[in-house]
Amino acid sequence: KTMLVLEVRSSQSKGSINQQGRFQGDLIGIEAEVKDESRFPEKWGFFAFNGSAKSAKSLPSSTTDCQSCHSQNGAVDNTFVQFYPTLLEVAKQKGTLKAAQPASK
Protein backbone atom coordinates (compact mmCIF):
# COMPACT_ATOMS: atom_id res chain seq x y z
CA LYS A 1 0.00 0.00 0.00
CA THR A 2 1.15 3.49 -0.87
CA MET A 3 -0.15 6.93 0.14
CA LEU A 4 0.81 10.23 -1.47
CA VAL A 5 -0.38 13.50 0.09
CA LEU A 6 -0.37 16.92 -1.57
CA GLU A 7 -0.77 20.10 0.45
CA VAL A 8 -2.21 22.79 -1.83
CA ARG A 9 -1.41 26.38 -0.87
CA SER A 10 -1.95 29.76 -2.45
CA SER A 11 1.01 31.65 -3.88
CA GLN A 12 1.64 35.22 -2.78
CA SER A 13 4.02 37.97 -3.80
CA LYS A 14 3.34 40.72 -1.26
CA GLY A 15 4.39 40.42 2.39
CA SER A 16 7.89 39.05 2.06
CA ILE A 17 11.18 40.93 2.23
CA ASN A 18 11.87 39.37 -1.17
CA GLN A 19 10.29 41.92 -3.51
CA GLN A 20 10.79 39.86 -6.69
CA GLY A 21 9.77 36.37 -5.57
CA ARG A 22 6.76 34.42 -4.45
CA PHE A 23 6.08 32.46 -1.28
CA GLN A 24 3.44 30.05 -0.05
CA GLY A 25 0.30 31.45 1.47
CA ASP A 26 -2.85 30.03 3.00
CA LEU A 27 -3.77 26.37 2.91
CA ILE A 28 -6.33 25.73 0.17
CA GLY A 29 -6.79 22.01 0.65
CA ILE A 30 -5.19 18.62 1.05
CA GLU A 31 -5.43 15.85 -1.53
CA ALA A 32 -4.42 12.23 -1.08
CA GLU A 33 -3.91 9.33 -3.47
CA VAL A 34 -3.88 5.83 -1.99
CA LYS A 35 -2.74 2.69 -3.81
CA ASP A 36 -4.56 -0.32 -2.35
CA GLU A 37 -5.55 -3.03 -4.82
CA SER A 38 -7.71 -4.80 -2.21
CA ARG A 39 -9.75 -1.65 -1.57
CA PHE A 40 -9.98 0.08 -4.95
CA PRO A 41 -10.92 -1.70 -8.22
CA GLU A 42 -8.61 0.59 -10.24
CA LYS A 43 -5.79 0.17 -7.67
CA TRP A 44 -5.83 3.84 -6.66
CA GLY A 45 -8.29 5.86 -4.57
CA PHE A 46 -8.45 9.65 -4.49
CA PHE A 47 -9.42 11.81 -1.52
CA ALA A 48 -9.98 15.55 -1.02
CA PHE A 49 -9.90 17.11 2.45
CA ASN A 50 -11.77 20.39 2.70
CA GLY A 51 -11.53 22.99 5.41
CA SER A 52 -10.52 21.58 8.77
CA ALA A 53 -11.86 18.07 8.08
CA LYS A 54 -9.79 15.33 9.69
CA SER A 55 -11.06 12.62 7.33
CA ALA A 56 -12.38 12.29 3.80
CA LYS A 57 -14.28 9.71 1.79
CA SER A 58 -12.84 8.28 -1.39
CA LEU A 59 -13.97 10.21 -4.46
CA PRO A 60 -16.10 7.92 -6.64
CA SER A 61 -14.24 7.12 -9.86
CA SER A 62 -17.44 7.68 -11.85
CA THR A 63 -17.64 11.32 -10.72
CA THR A 64 -14.02 12.33 -11.07
CA ASP A 65 -11.42 12.31 -13.80
CA CYS A 66 -8.58 11.77 -11.32
CA GLN A 67 -8.08 8.10 -12.16
CA SER A 68 -8.10 8.52 -15.95
CA CYS A 69 -5.83 11.59 -15.88
CA HIS A 70 -3.30 9.97 -13.54
CA SER A 71 -3.24 6.69 -15.47
CA GLN A 72 -2.85 8.45 -18.85
CA ASN A 73 -0.42 11.18 -17.82
CA GLY A 74 1.44 9.95 -14.75
CA ALA A 75 5.10 9.32 -15.56
CA VAL A 76 5.61 6.59 -12.94
CA ASP A 77 2.88 4.28 -11.62
CA ASN A 78 0.05 6.81 -11.79
CA THR A 79 2.14 9.64 -10.30
CA PHE A 80 3.26 12.97 -11.77
CA VAL A 81 6.97 12.73 -10.98
CA GLN A 82 7.64 14.63 -14.22
CA PHE A 83 6.80 17.86 -12.34
CA TYR A 84 9.32 17.24 -9.54
CA PRO A 85 12.93 17.44 -10.79
CA THR A 86 14.41 15.40 -7.94
CA LEU A 87 11.88 12.58 -8.36
CA LEU A 88 12.18 12.69 -12.14
CA GLU A 89 15.94 12.16 -11.92
CA VAL A 90 15.45 9.16 -9.63
CA ALA A 91 12.87 7.69 -12.02
CA LYS A 92 15.30 8.09 -14.91
CA GLN A 93 18.08 6.38 -12.94
CA LYS A 94 15.77 3.52 -11.89
CA GLY A 95 14.31 3.16 -15.40
CA THR A 96 10.72 3.48 -14.15
CA LEU A 97 9.44 6.21 -16.50
CA LYS A 98 6.58 5.18 -18.78
CA ALA A 99 7.69 4.78 -22.38
CA ALA A 100 5.41 7.63 -23.50
CA GLN A 101 7.14 10.11 -21.18
CA PRO A 102 9.98 12.24 -22.53
CA ALA A 103 13.37 11.25 -21.09
CA SER A 104 14.37 14.86 -20.53
CA LYS A 105 12.80 18.31 -20.43
Whether residues 9 and 53 share a domain: the answer is yes
| Cβ atoms of residues 91 and 81 within 8 Å | yes
Q: What is the pLDDT of residues 21-68, one digit of tens each?
A: 888 899 988 999 999 999 988 888 899 888 777 888 888 875 567 888
Q: Which of 2-6, 26-30, 55-59, 73-77 has the lowest mean pLDDT?
A: 55-59
Question: Higher model confidence: residue 15 or residue 46?
Answer: 46
% of the chain exceeding 70 in pLDDT: 89
Whether residues 6 and 51 share a domain: the answer is yes
Whether residues 37 and 49 share a domain: the answer is yes
| Cβ atoms of residues 28 and 49 within 8 Å | no
Whether residues 8 and 41 share a domain: the answer is yes
Domain carrying residue 56? 2-73
Domain of 43: which CATH number? Answer: 3.50.70.20
Whether residues 53 and 85 share a domain: the answer is no
What one-character DSSP code corresponds to residue 56?
-
Distance of CA 48 to the CA centre of its chain: 11
| Cβ atoms of residues 43 and 24 within 8 Å | no
